[in-house]
């Protein structure tokens, strides 16, 4: 779960509650407390991962607690968990890892992460900026990915790989040595 505030007044923190199937009879998730920022005019971002969730639909709501003990409840949201909770939480930021091995011959592995679903393109370019291989050009769900580039048939030298996902763009260098 991710949420944000525009400003805060006497915010002690948040507790996360959930209910199965319908937005009634919420139960506190143990150890779900997320500290607030007291009083601030700055926007704040928060997140919580429910490691107890199982496959199905769950309703979640926030219980915001003031420093004086006053409690405010946010409206609930429905979350469909189709495959359960993996051991590795979903990424919170876009990233493009350095290929491994580097230098390589003839194949190398490229890893990247997507915090949101969307169209992804990952391509290889030569030093003149010409695209020489398209590794990914598809819509992908949020998560961690890896793809291999088999450079059999390519000349030794320096190449670049570039990812474009949503507003995120990154590029890294790789070296093919035969």
Cβ proximity of 129 and 92 under 8 Å: no
The per-residue pLDDT for range 18-69, each reduced to its tens digit, is 998 777 789 999 999 999 999 999 999 999 888 877 777 889 999 999 999 9
Residues in the chain: 178
pTM for the full model?
0.53
Residue 90: DSSP 8-state:
P
Q: Cα–Cα distances in Å, from 55 out to 1, 28, 79, 81, 135?
A: 16, 19, 10, 5, 32
The per-residue pLDDT for range 92-125, each reduced to its tens digit, is 899 999 999 999 999 999 999 999 999 999 999 9
In our burial notation (b when 16+ CB lie closer than 10 A, e otherwise), range 30-48 reads: eebbeebeeeeeeeeebeb
In the beta sheet, which residues pair with residue 81? 56
Which among 10, 17, 72 has a CA at the least distance from the CA of 36? 10
Confidence of residue 1 (pLDDT cuts 50, 70, 90): confident
């Amino acid at each position: 779960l991710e949420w944000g505030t525009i400003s805060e007044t006497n915010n002690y923190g948040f507790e996360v509650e959930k209910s199965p199937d319908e937005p009634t009879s919420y139960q506190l998730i143990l150890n779900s407390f997320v500290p607030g920022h007291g009083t601030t005019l700055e926007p704040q971002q928060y997140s919580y991962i429910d490691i107890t969730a199982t496959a199905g639909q769950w309703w979640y709501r926030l219980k915001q607690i003031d420093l004086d003990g006053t409690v405010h409840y946010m409206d609930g949201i429905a979350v469909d968990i189709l495959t359960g909770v993996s051991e590795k939480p979903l990424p919170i930021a876009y990233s493009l890892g350095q290929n491994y091995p580097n230098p390589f011959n003839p194949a190398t592995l490229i890893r990247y992460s997507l915090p949101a679903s969307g169209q992804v393109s990952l391509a290889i370019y030569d030093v003149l900026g010409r695209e020489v291989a398209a590794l990914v050009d598809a819509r992908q769900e949020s998560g961690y990915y890896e793809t291999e580039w088999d450079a059999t048939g390519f000349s030794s030298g320096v190449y670049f790989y570039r990812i474009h996902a949503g507003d995120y763009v990154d590029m890294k260098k790789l070296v093919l040595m035969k």
